[in-house]
Amino acid sequence: MSGVKRKRNVLNVKQKLEILQKLDNGESARTVAEDVLNEGNTISHSAALQSVETLLDYMGQRGFDYGDITAVRKICVDIRQEMNKKQKQRHITDFFKQQILKGKFLV
């Protein structure tokens, strides 16, 4: 037996509240569920974006150099682009799944 523990996909109260808040903000249930399940392995795009936006607020309050703020804004743009790319991929995948179910494509 190895000493490696397996992580169970059990949500704690904080995660459940986070899901409800995201759903209230108009995020899709599928995206929220994927984010929560990925939390144990990687940082989700939405969590990263929230952190970087918080950093931007902090930098603005503390009077950081304009160049530094611009660099952090670029990171926000990059994260949003990555999120949009993932969303487009989901839409394309969902479209083809629907077409396959309707019998328009043979697999």
Residue 40 forms part of a structural domain: yes
Residue 86 structural domain: 13-104
Contact 65, 48 (CB under 8 A): no
Q: Is residue 27 part of a domain?
A: yes
For residues 61 and 20, the answer to whether their CB atoms sit within 8 Å is no
3-61 per-position pLDDT tens digit = 444 444 455 667 667 766 776 666 665 666 666 665 556 778 888 899 999 999 999 99
**Residue 8 domain flag:** no
DSSP 36-52: HHHTTTS--HHHHHHHH
Residue 7 lies in a domain: no
- The pTM (predicted TM-score) of the whole model is 0.50
Pairwise CA distance, residues 38 & 98, whole Å: 26
Backbone angles phi, psi at 28, to 5 degrees: -75, 150
CB 32 within 8 A of CB 24: no
Assigned domain for 58 exists: yes
Domain contains 6 = no
Q: How many domains does the chain have?
A: 1
> Is residue 56 in some structural domain?
yes
Instruction: Report if residue 42 sits inside a domain.
Output: yes
